């Protein structure tokens, strides 16, 4: 039996039980594509903003990223677990002092959801609350806020080449407003973007795209991760890079 016939039979058998078999390569795995980009762009520090328990950083480091991860997290409920995850990687993964990154320094109310991962500086919309109990508010707590520019400076990260990752549940505009110098020093940015209103006052993708392009960054990759009724795309990870070498400049701009 030919190999392609075996692959087809295996794929069809998997689909009958609701599974999908895909090759493990750059075309099918977002984590491998991201690590390839990070290493190619020589990003020495990945700024992991909105780290939660450290799921993203763990995956990136295990997938072959050769630099250092610095994680930022506001939620006390997961901060200890995040610190424990980082400790297993030694100096390759550092956890910054607990704070919510924003456009100013001080203290602010932080909305904690029952699943923790959807917690935000912003209030959830009725649409988000209708998605089920895990997305409802468990409690509202006060957390310290820091500007990313200031916090990175206190960590002694002076001559590094940054890649900025943000998973901050609608507060992207606030983090970016507190990080103009970091954006200038970043070879790329990864944004988690909602395409429908999950949070009151969240920026649109167009608004975030305008911020990225005005800072000299160009669209590089898109990874859908959340769909709603009838398959509507509701959330995606978007990667932007600074086009300063031939590999990034190759081909027409994804923004037209």
Give mean pLDDT, residues 83-99. 97
- Phi and psi at residue 39, to the nearest 5°: -70, -40
What percentage of the chain exceeds 90 in pLDDT? Answer: 81
Give 98's contacts (C-beta < 8 A, 6+ positions apart). 73, 74, 76, 79, 143, 144
Express each pLDDT in 233-255 by its tens digit: 999 999 999 997 544 444 433 33
| CB of 64 closer than 8 Å to CB of 39 | yes
For residue 18, pLDDT over 90 is answered with no
How many Å apart are CA 37 and CA 66, to the nearest integer? Answer: 11
pLDDT computed for residue 28 by the predictor = 79
Q: Does residue 12 or residue 1 have the better pLDDT? A: 12
pTM: 0.88
| CB of 82 closer than 8 Å to CB of 53 | yes
């Amino acid at each position: 039996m030919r190999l392609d016939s075996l692959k087809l039979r295996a794929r069809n058998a998997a689909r009958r039980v609701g599974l999908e078999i895909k090759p493990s390569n750059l075309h099918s795995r977002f984590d491998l594509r991201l690590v390839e980009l990070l290493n190619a762009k020589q990003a020495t520090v990945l700024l992991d903003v909105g780290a939660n328990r450290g799921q993203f950083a763990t995956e990136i480091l295990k997938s072959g990223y050769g630099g250092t991860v610095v994680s930022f997290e506001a939620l006390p409920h997961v901060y200890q677990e995040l610190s424990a995850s980082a400790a297993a990687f030694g100096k390759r993964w550092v956890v910054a002092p607990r704070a919510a990154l924003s456009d100013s320094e001080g203290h602010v109310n932080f909305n904690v959801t029952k699943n923790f991962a959807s917690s935000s500086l912003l209030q959830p919309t009725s649409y988000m609350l209708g998605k089920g109990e895990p997305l409802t508010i468990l409690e509202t707590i006060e957390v310290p806020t820091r500007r990313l520019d200031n916090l990175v400076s206190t960590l002694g990260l002076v001559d590094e080449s940054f890649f900025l990752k943000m998973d901050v549940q609608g507060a992207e505009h606030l983090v970016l407003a507190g990080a103009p110098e970091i954006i200038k020093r970043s070879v790329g940015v990864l944004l988690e973007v909602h395409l429908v209103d999950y949070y009151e006052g969240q920026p649109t993708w167009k608004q975030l795209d305008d911020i990225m392009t005005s800072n000299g960054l160009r669209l590089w990759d898109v990874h859908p991760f959340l769909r709603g009724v009838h398959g509507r795309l509701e959330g995606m990870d978007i990667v932007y890079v600074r086009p300063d070498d031939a590999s990034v400049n190759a081909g027409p701009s994804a923004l037209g």
